[in-house]
Chains A and B, each alone.
Chain A
Amino acid sequence: MRQELQIGKMMVAVAFVATALVSGCAKNVPLRTESTTSGIRAAEEAGATKVPQASLHLQLAREELELARGLAAKGKKKEAASMLLRAEADGELALALSHEDAQRVEAQEALERVRQLRKDNQ
């Protein structure tokens, strides 16, 4: 009977320690910013800084990433994750707008080549 009581106490202790460990780890899980930072880098490499609309969203993404890091540092995990979603969305949009601009220029050049060919051979 005494032995059973001791086992019960041990189990309670193990459960307590495990809960403490899990909650402790969860609190210290670092903010996963890899996807956002790589999105921002991709937008920069695609020339987002040279396209006004893309540049705006790139700047927003950078600012939101910093805010997310700040919130994470203060332990506001949910708010940080939510802010990180904003940063990721703005980074993706900056990249897409850069591609759109480059594509528009290419299409314009192709149309101009056709126009010039027609003009030269009228």
Chain B
Amino acid sequence: MKTRHFLIPIISAALVAGCATVPPSELTNARFAYQQASEGDAKQLVPAELHKAKESLNLAEESFKDDSDSQKTKDLAYVAQRKSELAMALGATAASKAREEKAEADFAQKQTAIVKQGKQDLSDAEKRNAAALAELAAIAAVKEEQRGLVVTLSGGVLFRSAEATLMPSALVKLDQVGNALQSVRTRNLLVEGHTDSQGSGSYNQGLSQRRANAVRDYLVRRGYPADRIQARGMGEDTPIANNNSPEGRANNRRVEIVIEREFPASNP
């Protein structure tokens, strides 16, 4: 009984002391906010703001020591929490700004690389075109037209009379043409078959189509992309010489390979 009487004031004193040292929620929040801020971007990117938050928290802690449950302590702790949150916001802004600057630098770098590569590609393409043109000019008649570069192969070299099967000598010629065309594989080709005016128009139309098909198929077998090459029979309708003489008719019997322009020429 005596012991119980002795314990009551001790427990009461301990409780009072315990209650007195429990920090207000504002201070607990402020401590937590500062801890969060000091572990984030603020420490590296806005140390001055973090320092201000620390000073603000110190003021609140001092006030808590002097008068633990006063309104002043709560207000100072509230302000300290906001200062830590401010440091966090400013740290996040600085980090975001750094990301933006890096992205802009990446963008500029990438753009420069693209322009450089584009110029290089253009230069390479021009060189390839020039080389192909020189190679083709050595094999066949080549001329620049509005629709593109036209390579003309004599029908007498490619086919026997009234036939659409390529002669062995034609294969050699077409191999050379095919090799030269490999350097312009990105261009669309149009293979046109032409005849003289001997025979009926419908027969000549069919013959010219079959011959154009034969040349197209051979070039595809040689590796030119099939989706970039078309064949068209033109019949006897577009002669390049007079059909009254044997020489003129020989010139009219021909296959033209049109290498279309990469960028269509603008009309004058």
Contacts and interface: CB of A to CB of B under 8 A. Distances in A.
The size bracket of the interface on B is 20 to 34
Interface string B76-118: 1011001101100110110011011001101100110010000
B71 interface: yes
B75 interface: yes
B104 A110 contact: yes
A89 B97 CA distance: 23
Contacts of A82: 71-72, 75-76
A92 B92 CA distance: 15
A121 B86 CA distance: 41
B72, B75, B82, B107: most-surrounded residue (chain A CB, <10 A): B82
B100 A106 contact: yes
Interface string B193-223: 0000000000000000000000000000000
A82 B107 CA distance: 49
Interface string B15-44: 000000000000000000000000000000
Nearest to A60: B82
Interface string B45-82: 00000000000000000000000000110011011001
B103 A111 contact: yes
Contacts of A104: 92, 96
- Label chain A's interface by main secondary structure: helix
Interface in A71-122: 78-79, 82-83, 85-86, 89-90, 92-93, 96-97, 99-100, 103-104, 106-107, 110-111, 113-114, 117-118, 121
A86 B79 CA distance: 6
Contact of B107 (A79, A86, A110): A110
Contacts of B90: 96, 100
A119 to B, nearest CB: 11
A107 B76 CA distance: 35
A114 B106 contact: yes
Contact of A85 (B79, B86, B107): B79
Contacts of B79: 85-86, 89
Given A96-B93, A106-B100, A89 B114 contact: no
Interface residues of A, number: 26
Given A96-B90, A100-B92, A113-B107, A107 B78 contact: no
Contacts of B85: 93
Contact of A114 (B72, B86, B97, B107): B107
Contacts of A106: 96, 100
A101 to B, nearest CB: 9
Nearest to B92: A100
Given A110-B107, A117-B110, A103 B86 contact: no
Nearest to A104: B96
Contacts of A113: 103, 107
Q: Lowest 8 A-B CB distances belong to which pairs?
A: A89-B82, A110-B103, A107-B100, A96-B89, A82-B75, A103-B96, A100-B93, A107-B96
5 contacts: A86-B79, A92-B82, A93-B89, A97-B89, A113-B103
